[in-house]
């Protein structure tokens, strides 16, 4: 079984296309026009072991917000579509992700009920030319559109680059584990309700 999806989203502000394969090898081809964001999306693919291709063109002459948010929306929609009826998934996963002086805790429930808890602060408002507050906006869009409950908390850290990267890598590792197929329940949904 190969779970994969393609999504195209076009608005007056952005044009985003996403291709996602859950059973991948962590390969990525990312182009958003935002260097640091591309780097984070590469990390998301590499550490989740999903293959992700993203091409995004946005109104960067205004700012980066629309592009980052719309990539999150499209990527979330692609993930939700690729997961199908959610039969056989592990569903829950969590990880503590260290990066040098930073430690971030991530927990995910692929529940069909979107929610984001984001308890992370950035000592520096910008990471190069990237607005650090857009990290939360990306994960908000991803969680809402993938219909997952996503909890991200940085326990400590002093470097905004490390903090952001620990969030992306932590989400990648937790999400990759949560969407994996559990061979003990491959023919059923992991819920007593029988549906997610």
What are the structural domains, with CATH classification, of the chain?
4-185 (3.30.230.40)
Could you tell me the CA-to-CA distances from 161 to 2, 99, 113, 164 in Å, in that order?
Answer: 34, 10, 30, 5
**Per-residue pLDDT at 187:** 83
Cβ atoms of 188 and 87 within 8 Å: the answer is: yes
Residue with tokens 């993930």: 79
Q: Taking all residues of the chain, what is their mean pLDDT, rounded to a whole number? A: 96
> Residue 185: what pLDDT?
85
**Nearest-angstrom CA–CA distance, 21 and 82:** 7
| Angle subtended by helix axes 65-83 and 134-146, to nearest 10 | 30
User: For the segment 21-72, what is each residue's pLDDT rounded down to a tens digit?
Assistant: 999 999 999 999 999 999 999 999 999 999 999 999 999 999 999 999 999 9
Question: With contact defined as beta carbons under 8 Å apart, do 65 and 132 qualify?
Answer: no
Q: Which residues of 42-61 are buried (b: 16+ CB within 10 A; e: fewer)?
A: bbbbbbbbbbbbbbbebeee
Distance of CA 78 to the CA centre of its chain: 11
Nearest to 160 by CA among 150, 168, 172: 168
Q: What is the pTM of this model?
A: 0.96
pLDDT in the model for residue 192: 67
Specify whether the CB–CB gap between 57 and 12 falls below 8 A.
no
Q: Does the pLDDT value for residue 177 go beyond 80?
A: yes
Give tens-digit pLDDT for 70-112: 999 999 999 999 999 999 999 999 999 999 999 999 999 999 9
């Amino acid at each position: 079984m190969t779970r994969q999806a393609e999504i195209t989203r076009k608005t007056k502000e952005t044009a985003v296309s996403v291709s996602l394969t859950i059973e991948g090898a962590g390969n990525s081809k990312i182009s958003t026009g935002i260097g640091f964001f591309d780097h984070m999306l590469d990390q998301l693919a590499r550490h989740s072991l999903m293959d992700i291709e993203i091409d995004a063109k946005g109104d960067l002459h205004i700012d980066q917000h629309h592009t980052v948010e719309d990539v999150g929306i499209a990527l979330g929609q692609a993930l939700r579509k690729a997961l199908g009826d959610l039969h056989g998934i592990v569903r829950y996963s969590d990880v503590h992700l260290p990066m040098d002086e930073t430690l971030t805790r991530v927990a995910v429930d692929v529940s069909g009920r979107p929610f984001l808890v984001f308890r992370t602060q950035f000592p520096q408002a910008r990471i190069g030319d990237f607005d650090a507050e857009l990290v939360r906006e990306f994960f908000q869009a991803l969680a809402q559109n993938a219909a997952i409950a996503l909890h991200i908390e940085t326990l400590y850290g002093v470097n905004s680059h490390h903090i952001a990267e620990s969030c992306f890598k932590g989400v990648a590792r937790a999400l990759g584990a949560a969407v994996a197929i559990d061979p003990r329940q491959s023919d059923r949904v992991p819920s007593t309700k029988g549906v997610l």
